[in-house]
Structure 1
Amino acid sequence: MSVSPTDPPSLALRLVLALALCLLAGCAGLSPQQTQAVDAIVGQARPIDTDCDRADACARASELHELAGRAFAESTPGEPRHYTLLLDRGSDALLARIDLIRSATTAIDLQTYIFDEDDAGRFVLDELIGAARRGVRVRLLMDQLSALKRVETLAALAGVHANLQVRIYNPVLGRARITYPGYVLAGACCWRALNQRMHTKLLLIDGAIGITGGRNYQDDYYDWDAEYNFRDRDLMVAGPAARDMGDSFERYWNDARSVPVEHLSDVGRLLLREGVPALPAATPDQPARLRSAKAVADDPQLVRERLISRVLPVGHVDYVADPPGKDVRDGRLSPSSSALRDLILGARERVMLQTPYLVLSEPARAVFRELRRRESPPRVIVSTNSLASTDAFIAYALSYKYKRRYLRDYGFNIYEMKPFPEDAPIDLATTGAIGPDGQPPAPRPSRRVECDRNSAIDCAQARQRARQAARAATRPLAREFAALAFGSRRSNSPVPLQRAGLRMGLHAKSLVVDEAVGVVGTHNFDPRGDRYNTESMVVIRDPAFARELAASIDRDIAPANSWVIAPRDKPPVLSGLTYSVGKASEQLPVFDFWPRRYATSYEFRASPECPAPLPPDDPRFRDCYEPVGDFPEVALGLKSLLTRIFTAFGAGLAPIL
């Protein structure tokens, strides 16, 4: 009998593995006495005094925050009013967060999958601490697998102020951090628990205005990385829908899976051993960039120009969120997946779907098969990553495997993002890829280990310290999609390219139906989103908003930014046999080594005869486009070969990818 990826190990095996975990990873939790002692240590260390004695916690005036008051004042029970702001540009998304955090008067609730300790992450963290110290209640909820990487940081936050509380969602093994060996062993003993991650992302200010969407808290989500940044999208919503956001956050915060960070074994033992450590001062990689970001946030005119000027009023807004610990066995759909299904099935003319990972679950495939069977099916436009742009080449391999199905059976028009898009909403100046003079900055100091070459012991100790520092500076899951790390951070890094440059990868998750409904959220339209990850989204039934969102996706699929995926030209001989063998090979879960794939990438070539891009089903398509290969821009090497291998062997990984 075959075993599916979701079948748990036998009870005996799980017990043995659990014992091994406790011995190897020190996974024993805190005793009740230790927990009480930790609470006493933290309680004594937490300051209760604030820097402000005003009722508004010395909140800074904010036109963004004022939108919430306007929305509530203009709303009636039957006709709610909201103000929305699409945040396409990473620097604007960071600016909006900082502005709103500084404007908070009573409460800040932040829920996220990734919270890094790089420049952007520390910038936001320091702002949260500042808000707590001036009298705002701050609650920070992070998923375990990609929470702050240093146990010392988490221990410091446990005692930084009485107004700041930090919890970790679903801490497998009862720890804040798990190592690679612990991760592998946890997968063997606690497979389903390990896979149930909190992918929901929300920043809620005073229960009245929120930001949700694809972005985590890490440099590459805010155009702050010198090598690779995400093309992502958030949505700010001010008005009554914020109450639903608050209700959702409360469910997560009060769920048994959300554990105070000081009650986790590794953090708690550090507190018992050393007390509450001081939070080290931030040491940004690029201090000038941080100073510039703070200056922009302090300038009301710049906030008005970059954010307020683009605010759009809408009516009803739905916030759809999966419950904590969602369980979708027995064929059930979660609230987020069910909402997406209903919206897509309601399409009449066009569906625009943007996802970084085109790996569809069986329920999603059923939806698109149903659309395709209609007498006049809607056009389905898909914006996704190419192998050259993605940070998850294993996921791309599964998308590559099923191109024939997507194009022929479902009728998709697929556009894959280029790694160096010419017209992407990115602020080059904030990335660090160029200096103030327009040239690349000076290289960073070498990390070469310095030691006393006359002493083998000193050299060994120096190298050991360097290895420990390197491990502390990374985490098992460097990217959001890296459910499987395969032993190294490099496994989930982008593939090598034929030329150097500042690369971008798509991370936005959005949907537009008939330019009447727009959706911005966290769901990747993939099996993990259906089965394991908790997801959330904002649904707005407003033509003006839908057109704005559609225009944003249209920009991403323009020829300057994406390749078109279309069928290859038929071979001169045996074309029918070639197609049939390729189709049969695609159905195999393993050994899909057929070298000729159904589709390939095409580049638009403008000319007087081809003034504008065309869809792949236009009769003149091949007059205006030329094939550029299966993996354009990619340097042939190990990951290209691995992509082929996972195409052949990786179909069984779809549920966990």
Structure 2
Amino acid sequence: MNKLITAPARLAQRMLPFRRQPKTSPALEALPFFAVPAHAIEVLRDSAAFRGELLRLIAQATRRIVIVTLYLQDDDGGREVLDALYAAKARHPALQVSLFVDWHRAQRGLIGKQKCAGNAGMYREYAARMGAGVDIYGVPVQGRELLGVLHLKGFVIDDDVLYSGASLNDVYLMRHGRYRLDRYHVLHHRGLADAMVAFVQRHFLGSDAVRLLNVADVPATRTLQPAIREFRQDLQRASYEVPCETLGPADVAVTPLPGFGRSDNALNEALLALLRGTRERVILLTPYFNLPRPVRLVLGQLLRRGCSIDIMVGDKTANDFYIPPGQPFKTIGLLPYLYENNLRRFARGHRAQIASGQLNVHLWRDGDNSYHLKGLFIDDDVAVLTGNNLNPRAWTLDLENGLVLRDPARLLHAKHQAEWAALKRHATRLSDYQALESPRHYPAVVRKQLKRLNRTRLDRLVNRLL
């Protein structure tokens, strides 16, 4: 973060995206899908239920556990999951247990903390103490963490898919009284589970760039650079193997989609096509208000067409980078203020729609807990489950995925309505852009840093990369 602030302005110009014409999106009706019975799709109510379901599924596993997440932290929550994985392997020696985390994130400490071996040190300690059987791989999506990370999601346990944007640590698993709210869904479907595992086996295990982290001899990142370049090229062509099934009267069409890179990004194209096809209403969830330009343009078009839009975002105090007054300030603490400024500009530009009720911006806050929701509800028959933050970084740099749920019979409508109602319990509708804290009232250190960013136009680069 400090390096970004001191970088020359010309670097920002070089790294900002080119003005490209959007490509024509494929017809959504042509997307292949799994016909999943509606009763086989569950919505978990909170992070405590997520933790309980994850541990229950691990304890019952007999064939395979394949977990893909940004990180598994060296704390009580992470160790609880690791203990459960090793115990499951001990009960069933033939059980396949594989965990995939971001290569860079696993080998550093927390931002602003003392330099250390990171979570990989815990992985190696467990392997030395507990023995082999739990394979933990690092996935280097880019050569450097700043330029992109593994943001693919999915916990496949036997024939169940537990899908959430959450990673694995104390706060995501609601340990010690605090939580970071995400969305949590369970889909009981063997075909979908097989497809998600096959993607990992084909593209991750088939790459020389993806290496075990819980072994003594872990190669340096610099030695993997040629393999990482090949890996990126493969990811840009990657897709899930999805059949062309027939949708029954009690089924929901579920399509898994990967997303990587600025062009030919299947997930991005599907998200834009879904938004453009809105008939009446969109609900958009994002933890960091920093929408990609194509998404902002489509939302503007929907408002002009008369569609209703609800956006839920965390209050800046519910951001995981927020530093409360009185605590030592670190540069990373600027991010919640940058996102709030983005929201303020957006709300000011659409103040007429906010006043009329056509546009509703909901700010989520619940004590000292944090907010990490992402996804879409469109009309009453489409939902998107994803780890995609709907920001420029997710749009172009990180490896993402999502599940598109098309529900023409509205079989999931009651579950989605209940989920939305539960989310709104801790949210307040923004009445006007002036209801947000004015930058003039920010702490002095924040005002000073923001002024430096604005003067060099580096705020645009920061928004793109973080």
Query: TM-score with structure 2 length normalisation?
Result: 0.72
Of 132-141 and 403-412, deviating more is: 403-412
The correspondence of residues 418-567 of structure 1 with structure 2, limited to 5 A, is 418-420=365-367, 503-542=368-407, 543-558=410-425, 561-567=426-432
Matching residue within 143, 149, 154 for 2:123 = 154
SS in 1 for 2:284: strand
Q: CA deviation at 1:505?
A: 1.9
Say which of 148, 160, 164 aligns to 1:209. 160
Where relative contact order (Cα < 8 A, 6+ residues apart) is larger, the structure is 2
**Contact 1:386-1:631 at 8 Å conserved across structures:** no
1:87 is aligned to: 44
Partner Cα separation in structure 2 for residue 362 and residue 218 of structure 1: 32
Residues 184-222 of structure 1: CA distance to partner in whole angstroms, max 9, x if unpaired? Answer: xxxxxx56x74221111211012x111112111011112
Shift of 1:132: 2.0
Q: Does 1:232 align with 2:182?
A: yes
Structure 2 distance, partners of 1:162, 1:317, is 39
Q: Is 2:450 the partner of 1:641?
A: no
Q: Does 1:395 align with 2:339?
A: yes
Other structure's SS at 1:327 match? coil
State the match for 2:282 in structure 1. 351
CA 1:407–1:220 in 2, change beyond 3 Å: closer, same or farther? farther
Q: Which amino acid aligns with 1:388?
A: T
Q: 1:166 aligns with which of 136, 140, 144?
A: 136
Give the 3 Å change call, closer, same or farther, for CA 117–6 of structure 1 in structure 2: farther
- The structural deviation recorded for 1:89 is 1.1
- Find out whether 1:264 has 2:218 as its counterpart: yes
Q: Which segment drifts farther, 360-369 or 160-169?
A: 160-169
- Give how far 1:510 is off: 2.2
Deviates more, 1:157-166 or 1:93-102: 157-166
CA–CA distance in structure 2, aligned partners of residues 636 and 369 of structure 1: 29
Structure 2 equivalent of residue 315 of structure 1: 251
Letter in 1 for 2:205: W
Question: d(CA) in 1 for partners of 2:350 and 2:173?
Answer: 32
State the alpha-carbon separation in 2 of the partners of residues 544 and 631 from structure 1: 44
SS in 1 for 2:318: coil
Aligned-residue offset at 1:95: 0.8
Q: Judging changes above 3 Å, is the alpha-carbon distance between structure 1 residues 79 and 212 closer, same or farther for their aligned structure 2 residues?
A: closer
In 2, are the aligned partners of 1:234 and 1:521 still within 8 Å (CA)? no
Over 3 Å counting, the alpha-carbon distance change for 1:419 and 1:638 in structure 2 is farther
User: Under a length normalisation based on structure 1, what TM-score does the superposition of the two structures give?
Assistant: 0.52
Deviates most, 397-406 or 97-106: 397-406
Q: Among all aligned residue pairs of Structure 1 and Structure 2, give the percentage whose two residues are the same amino acid.
A: 20
> Quick check: 2:71–2:168 contact (8 Å CA) kept in 1?
yes
Cα gap change, 1:356/1:152 in structure 2, threshold over 3 Å: closer, same or farther?
Answer: closer
Match of 1:370 in 2: 301
- AA at the equivalent of 2:180: F
Contact 2:311 2:361 (8 Å CA) reproduced: yes
Q: Return the alpha-carbon distance in structure 2 between the equivalents of residues 319 and 162 of structure 1.
A: 35
Return 5+ residue gaps in structure 1 as ranges.
9-76, 173-189, 268-312, 421-502, 568-598, 602-628
Distance 1:130 1:322, change over 3 A: same
Larger radius of gyration: 1
Q: Alpha-carbon deviation of 1:639?
A: 6.4
Contact 1:516 1:547 in 2 (8 A): no
1:60-115 per-position Cα deviation (integer Å, ceiling 9, x unaligned): xxxxxxxxxxxxxxxxx995436111123111101111111111111110111021
Q: Which residue of 1 aligns with 2:291?
A: 360
- Aligned partners of 2:119, 2:156: CA distance in 1, in Å? 25
Does structure 1 conserve the Cα–Cα contact (< 8 Å) formed by 2:284 and 2:376?
yes
Q: How many residues align?
A: 374
Contact kept in structure 1, 2:141 and 2:398, CA below 8 Å: no
- Which digits, 9 at most, give the CA deviation of each residue in 1:254-301, with x for residues without a partner? 33331122352379xxxxxxxxxxxxxxxxxxxxxxxxxxxxxxxxxx
Q: Quick one: distance in 1 between partners of 2:366 and 2:299?
A: 28
Structure 1 residues 231 and 152: CA distance shift in structure 2, 3 A: closer
Give the Cα–Cα distance (whole angstroms) in 1 for the partners of residues 449 and 319 of structure 2: 12
CA-atom RMSD in angstroms = 3.2
Structure 2 CA distance for aligned equivalents of residues 214 and 78 of structure 1: 21
SS in 2 for 1:520: strand
